[in-house]
Structure 1
Amino acid sequence: MIGWGKGLLWLALAAPAALMAWRLASGEATAFDLYQPTGELSLRLMLLALIPGPLAEFFGRGRFLRAWLSVRRNLGVAAFVYAALHLAAYVADMQALAAMLAELALPGIWTGWLAFAVLAVPASISTDVAMRRLGRTWKRLQWLAYPALALALLHWALLDRAWLPVLVHLVPLGLAWSLRIAARNGYRFRRRPA
């Protein structure tokens, strides 16, 4: 995607954060009110970053998937930014280190901290420079997005005590991975000649 296209993408990705900041500044929302939208947006952006790779293996790299693949690093970094905003909302809501430490042993809390720490690794190396310097190691480190996603989904399920929304979010990734497995076993989508 050319420069102006990525600029528009980042404007679109930043728009929800700007709206949340405005709601917070105007007193329309509290830090507690931002837990859910920041967390869910982070998860959805992670999914959007992880889905195109498996789809490309099955369907090939048509124009749509090439465009999607070209922005997946941006989507992953944006997922990390919204995870950081989620964490900032938590810190602002708790207001005291002692209160945060007191709940750190709860599975619903430490899974969130661990998901953030794991996601920080691929986010921090999502640059062209890091890609060149790390070589093959770069791709292996980017795979940490998968355990980060699993931990984030577990964090959500444990805190909300509801598994259905988590499972609904897993369906697209599960389908994409089913197609990847099919492609690796010799089944690929073939366009019919016109």
Structure 2
Amino acid sequence: MKSSVTKGLLWLLLSVPGILMLWSFTQGDALAMDMLHPSGEMSVRLMILAMLPGPLSEFFGLNRFFRGWIAIRRNLGVAAFGYALLHLIFYIFDMNSLAAMAEEFGIPGIWTGWLSLVLMLLPAVISFNYAMRKLGRTWKYIQRLVYPAFLIGLAHWILLDWAWQPALIHLAPLIFAWILRFIGRSRRHRKQRSMT
């Protein structure tokens, strides 16, 4: 019971920014184009939050804090996909025409967004316990699609804005975490070699 209440509160918290975006749009306080940035950024930020606990816990050790973070990372990943879909919905409203969307598809800043969304789709669809048990080790390989999805998503951002600084700021925590993971693995490898 406690677990389901906690999960419900987590999903309520994750959905609040999206609800506020939709409210602003439906009330006419913001145009669809105004919602493209916040919905896209929210998706990227949630992807980062989902990817950080693995490398950080590997370096600092699997304590209670990281166990809790790892326990919710699938929720964070699915929420990231949800905000990517919301981003797409705002894009559809902004373009207001399938022909206009098709015309833009060849632009690198656009097709990278579609590719990132497609790569996020399968990991999001199988992010539940039954799929994890059924797919076994394959489940982990499929979940790793989030890494190219994230990087291509950043490329989508940079190509549309022609400003690399905001994307790099978002990437920085992951770079730091991956460096720590590399340092931790190198230390363990050296320790194992010295013991043999």
CA distance in 1, matches of 2:86, 2:26: 15
CA distance in 1, matches of 2:116, 2:140: 19
CA distance in 2, matches of 1:132, 1:98: 42
By how many angstroms is 1:8 displaced?
0.7
By how many angstroms is 1:186 displaced?
2.0
| Matching residue's letter, 1:37 | P
Structure 1 residue 63 corresponds to structure 2 residue 69: no
CA distance in 2, matches of 1:30, 1:89: 9
- Show the 5 A alignment for 1:81-96: 81-96=82-97
| Counterpart residue number, 1:191 | none
CA distance in 1, matches of 2:23, 2:105: 30
Segments of structure 2 that go 5 or more residues without pairing to the other structure are 190-196
| Matching residue's letter, 2:147 | Y
- Show the 5 A alignment for 1:41-120: 41-120=42-121
CA distance in 2, matches of 1:8, 1:187: 38
| Counterpart residue number, 2:158 | 157
Please give the per-residue CA displacement for 1:43-94, whole angstroms capped at 9, x wherever unaligned.
Answer: 0000000000000111111111111000000000000000000001001110
CA distance in 2, matches of 1:162, 1:18: 28
CA distance in 1, matches of 2:3, 2:51: 21
CA distance in 2, matches of 1:67, 1:163: 33
Calculate the aligned-residue CA RMSD, in Å: 1.2
| Matching residue's letter, 1:105 | G
- Show the 5 A alignment for 1:143-182: 143-182=144-183
Structure 1 residue 37 corresponds to structure 2 residue 9: no
Contact kept in structure 2, 1:111 and 1:151, CA below 8 Å: yes
By how many angstroms is 1:114 displaced?
0.3
| Matching residue's letter, 1:72 | R
| Matching residue's letter, 2:94 | D
Q: Report sequence identity in percent.
A: 55
Which structure dedicates a bigger proportion of its chain to helix? 2
By how many angstroms is 1:101 displaced?
0.7
Contact kept in structure 2, 1:58 and 1:187, CA below 8 Å: no
| Matching residue's letter, 1:173 | L
| Counterpart residue number, 2:14 | 13
Large movers: runs of 4+ above 6 Å: none
SS of the residue corresponding to residue 46 of structure 2 reads helix
Structure 1, 1-10 or 17-26: larger mean CA deviation: 1-10
Contact kept in structure 2, 1:32 and 1:90, CA below 8 Å: yes
Contact kept in structure 2, 1:39 and 1:82, CA below 8 Å: yes
| Matching residue's letter, 1:144 | L
Contact kept in structure 2, 1:119 and 1:148, CA below 8 Å: yes
By how many angstroms is 1:187 displaced?
5.3
CA distance in 2, matches of 1:124, 1:104: 25
Please give the per-residue CA displacement for 1:131-187, whole angstroms capped at 9, x wherever unaligned.
Answer: 001000000000000000000000000000000111111110001001111111125
Instruction: State the TM-score, normalized to the length of structure 2.
Output: 0.94
